[in-house]
A and B are shown apart, each in its own frame.
Chain A
Amino acid sequence: MTLSAFLAAWRFEWRLLRRDAAAWAVLAAITTMSALAFFNGAERVAAQKAAIEDARRDETQRLDALRKALADLTAGRVKGETPPFRDPRNGVFVGGGSAAAVAALEPAPLAIVASGQSDLFPAALKVTSGTKDSFLFADEIENPAHLASGSIDLSFVLVFVFPLAILALCFDLSAGEREKGTLALTLASAESPTAVLLGKLAARAGLPILAMIAATLVGVLLLRGAEPIASCGFALLVAAIFAYGAFWALLAAVVDSFGKSSAYNALALIAVWAGFTMIAPAAVNTLADALYPAPSRAEMTLAARAATTDADRERDAALARYAEEHPEAKAAETKIGDAEERTIRRLAVLETANARVEEVMARHEAQLARQRALADRLSFLSPALLMYRSVADIAGSGDRRYAEFSARLDEFHRQWRDFFWSRAHAGQSLTQADYAALPRFRAASEASVPAGVISGLAGGVGLPALLLAIFAWRGLRRCKAA
């Protein structure tokens, strides 16, 4: 009976593992690293939430100060002239800075699982009616060496440490027994030697896979409660852990089936591990960058600056034309430097600069989209890279969520500009009612896991695991005792 041989081998191996120091070391490594990763994840999410709260508090204080200043001006409690950039009635300047709206990207329910890009992108941005480059590239303070090195999060444990834990137990599946001289006895213990080896593999790989799933479950449950556990994202994460673990276990079985020594297996597997987790991702990133280099962001800023000088010149020319065509006009009407003139200039600069920056940014985004599409396709070369990107997407700290956030930010930026500029063009001063009706950035409801993540994991991790299962089956059937 093949099944009974499999189960018997599994049970026997399981008993052996309970007395094996390596198995306990693997369990300790997974538990410790996961605990550290969840501790860091909880701190990171708390810091993001605190940053968003601080930004909102700052926004409330700024708006309260503006409304108070407006009330003082309206009630005639302010003496002297208020410069336009401090005038709460001036929509061009208020919308361009002092009333800046907070656009926050709240941490997703599974954010503790992967830091992804969350350490590079600030959790909250201050949207103004200025050009996008003036607020979009704000950075949170972080030691650049830390950003380059990365910290320990669950995605790191899953992608790097978890495969090593599996390989540590599976690399000498038959080679270890062959070297000890017990393989012949083990294989002879059942009618189907393949079932015996598969039983051993299931026990040895099952331990780290179950430990990893259990650690993930406990970590999320303790720190985020039961709600995220019931989500599609968590189910996908568990499935991904299983598939990724199976991939490495089957890979170890394939290498072991070559019948070489355990030292050879260890070397070969560590080389494949280094290839998949380090060299292939590095090569993919390098290739994508070489073929579609990220455009220079300086070009965008310079476009905005050129627009400033052009708008200045256009305004000067318009004033000169006006003075020429209306020689009777008083000097005061064309005087440079008064509040109205500064406001008109500012509005002209912002409108011209915005149009140009949006054009440059659209070109940049198209180039980056090409680079990412290539990286997406090439990531199928490395299950580790695919797993890393997918876990970040499941955690809501990957490229997909930031792309969505960026699109919503574009829409809100347009809304914000229109609100202030329409009033400025109509010559209207801002009122208390306008302050009450300021556009607010609405966070999108948390969407379910994108279909691209599921298909990516199925094609990039599930399918290779399946292929390896076929090779492992064929290889183990040919296993020789000596």
Chain B
Amino acid sequence: MSEIVVAKAPVAEAPAGRWRVARAVARKEWAELRRDSRLAWLFGLVFLLMLGALAFGAAQHMRLDRERAAAAATDRALWTGQGAKNPHAAAHFGQYAFKPQSPLALADPGVDAYVGEAVWLEAHKQNEAQFRAARDAGVGARLGGLSFAFVLQTIMPLVAVLLGFAGFAGERERGTLRQLMSLGASPIDIFAGKALAALGALAALLVPAFSLAVLATLFLADHDFSVVDQLRRLLAFSFGYGLYLCGFVFLALGVSAFSKSTRTALVTLLAFWLANCFLAPRVMTDVAKHVATLPSALEFRNAIAEDKNKTFGHDETHPSFVAFRDGVLAQYGVTRIEDLPVNFRGLALRKDDENGFVIFDKHFGALQAAFDAQDRLRAAPGFLFPMLAMQAFSTSFAGTDSWHQYDFATAAEAHRRRIQTEASEDLINNARYGDASYVASPQMWARIPSFDYAAPAVSWAFSHVRGDLVALALWVVLTAALAGFAARRLRPL
């Protein structure tokens, strides 16, 4: 008489027992993954791509850093070497502010190629940043370059899909799923084990790559960027990618559990991968463009000019100039400009600049708000197509999104205002009214410092991507729920 051993029902298992099952499944999956030579090749190739992307990113960073440092030094020499000059003429000559490149641009270059790298800080005008590198790169470059972020956002989800698509469907086709379940392993335990193995495999690929990114960041961070801040940013960056890829592993296993065959699972997952990585970013870009429109460059400049026309500039017949002059005379209790104890031209220039500051803040602030509205709209379905949230999250912590560009432009504008104000105050305090030959000494140019940009802290970057973090978390919850639901409905045949 043979003894028939009946497996215990899964519900009767203690939590520790469940963990043992999950661990056993993970160990078995891990052993299979290690034995698969195709996977080894794939991992090797992806690692090489990441290595190449990081190496190129670092080389690119060093080159741009050198170029911008040299340009800043030349501009400083030109500024300080102006010789004796009227301060307002020097203000018109101005300075250039060059944007220092964030060290983490080596991991995600973000929008850097599509924004200007330098701002001319001249009198009366807030200029936009000039010289978008993408204009020099040719049309082929619009298909993108090789970057660490590109590999993480596009190639790694594909690796996750490949690791997970056959998870349940493959076992079902081979008939091993029935065996596994007959041993008493609950579908959730099997799912946990398979997810652990796939996440472990992804970690085996990513941990060395991120370690290299840390080393490169330590090497590249300079006085403009705090090393601690950069490492915090990198930590947040890796956390975001962790969520992103975790969701793909859950999705792959969930779809695999739902699908009748590996073929169906693979085709479904590839279709989602394509929609997420290629279609969603472009479709949402078009939607955002249509819903939240931007002014044209001509409209933007004309709107500023219209507001500026309400102030006096150099026009001494302008009604607002006359009002200002009368106000100053009344303030000092004199009737003639010549009797003022300070230089009236300097006062008028300072007043005109102050009027301009309000106008520029209004228009440039509105433009950034419009960019932000578009970006939010674009990232809104990020919980369903996580690429949309991931791009925003990644570029923010890499310091290469439009908010960081705005922060640089705002800092550059603050420096311009300092130059203008100092030039006007020199006139106010030192020049005689009507003396067109007044010049400030060359030492004055050295007293006005060069532009020194301090990049914002990680908390500032985080404040702009809270919604994207929620979207990524939601993506993980949704995919985990899908996988859990699929696992509960799992049929061995």
Contacts and interface: CB of A to CB of B under 8 A. Distances in A.
Contacts of A144: 111, 114-115, 371, 402, 405
Contact of B78 (A151, A160, A309, A397): A309
Contacts of A316: 83
Contacts of A335: 437
Interface stretch (B230-238, B278-286, B464-472): B278-286
Given A121-B135, A279-B49, A298-B96, A146 B289 contact: yes
A272 to B, nearest CB: 13
A444 interface: no
B139 A143 contact: no
Interface in B73-115: 74-75, 78, 81-83, 93, 96, 98, 110-111, 113-115
Given A278-B154, A399-B139, A149 B263 contact: no
Interface in A138-164: 138-152, 156, 160, 164
Nearest to B277: A278
B357 interface: no
A33 to B, nearest CB: 8
Given A137-B131, A139-B116, A139-B297, A149 B281 contact: yes
Contacts of B443: none
Contacts of B111: 144-145, 147-148
B128 A139 contact: yes
Given A141-B367, A143-B374, A309-B82, A302 B96 contact: yes
B314 A267 contact: no
A407 interface: no
A151 B289 contact: yes
Given A263-B266, A278-B154, A279-B49, A122 B297 contact: yes
A145 B298 contact: no
A281 B140 contact: yes
A40 interface: yes
Interface string A351-395: 000000000000000001001100100010000110011001000
Nearest to A266: B266
B165 to A, nearest CB: 8
Given A267-B162, A294-B136, A305-B75, A140 B144 contact: no
Contacts of A148: 110-111, 113-114
A142 B294 contact: yes
Interface in B52-77: 52-53, 56, 59-60, 63, 67-68, 71, 74-75
Interface residues of B, number: 87
Contacts of B401: 145
Interface stretch (A50-58, A216-224, A431-439, A445-453): A50-58
B481 to A, nearest CB: 27
Interface stretch (A103-111, A236-244, A283-291, A321-329): A283-291
Nearest to A282: B146
B31 interface: no
Contacts of B374: 143, 145-146
Contacts of B333: none
Contacts of B378: 145-146
A470 to B, nearest CB: 27
A274 B155 contact: yes
A375 B150 CA distance: 20
B15 interface: no
Contacts of B83: 309, 312-313, 316
A369 B66 CA distance: 23
A304 to B, nearest CB: 10
A83 B436 CA distance: 14
Contacts of A397: 139
A298 B131 contact: yes
B294 A385 contact: no
A399 B138 contact: yes
A282 B150 contact: yes
B441 interface: no
A306 B76 CA distance: 11
A116 interface: yes
A143 B371 contact: yes
Contacts of B302: 58
Contacts of B405: 144
Most buried by A among B68, B128, B267, B367: B267
B281 to A, nearest CB: 5
Contacts of B145: 282, 285-286, 289
A298 B154 contact: no
Contact of A143 (B81, B134, B375): B375
A343 interface: no
B270 A266 contact: yes
**A-side interface mostly:** helix
A385 B128 CA distance: 32
Interface in A156-205: 156, 160, 164
Contacts of B53: 286
Contacts of A337: 436-437
B140 A141 contact: no
Contacts of A128: none
Contacts of A214: none
A428 to B, nearest CB: 26
Contacts of A83: 314
A211 B350 CA distance: 65
A103 to B, nearest CB: 15
B122 to A, nearest CB: 11
A31 interface: no
B348 to A, nearest CB: 15
A55 B298 CA distance: 8
B296 interface: yes
Contacts of B371: 143-145
Nearest to B135: A120
Given A149-B285, A285-B137, A309-B81, A385 B63 contact: no
A143 B296 contact: no
A262 B296 CA distance: 50
Nearest to B284: A149
B4 to A, nearest CB: 37
A340 to B, nearest CB: 14
B419 to A, nearest CB: 15
A293 interface: yes
A388 B140 contact: yes
B298 A298 contact: no
B141 interface: yes
A112 to B, nearest CB: 14
Interface string B299-337: 110100000000000100000000000000000000000
Contacts of A375: 138, 140-141
Contacts of A267: 162, 266
A98 interface: no
Given A146-B285, A152-B282, A385-B143, A301 B96 contact: yes
Contacts of A266: 263, 266-267, 270
A384 B296 CA distance: 32
What are the 5 tightest A-B residue pairs by CB atom distance, in nearest-first order?
A144-B111, A298-B71, A281-B143, A297-B131, A144-B114
Interface of A: 36, 40, 47, 50-51, 54-55, 58, 83, 116-117, 120-122, 137-152, 156, 160, 164, 261-263, 266-267, 270, 274, 277-279, 281-286, 289-290, 293-294, 296-299, 301-302, 305-306, 308-309, 312-313, 316, 335-337, 368, 371-372, 375, 379, 384-385, 388-389, 392, 397-399
13 contacts: A141-B300, A148-B111, A151-B286, A270-B270, A281-B144, A282-B144, A282-B146, A286-B146, A296-B68, A302-B71, A302-B74, A305-B75, A398-B139
Interface of B: 49, 52-53, 56, 59-60, 63, 67-68, 71, 74-75, 78, 81-83, 93, 96, 98, 110-111, 113-118, 120, 128, 130-146, 150, 154-155, 158, 162, 262-263, 266-267, 270, 274, 278, 281-283, 285-286, 288-289, 294-300, 302, 314, 367, 371, 374-375, 378, 391-392, 395, 401-402, 405, 436-437
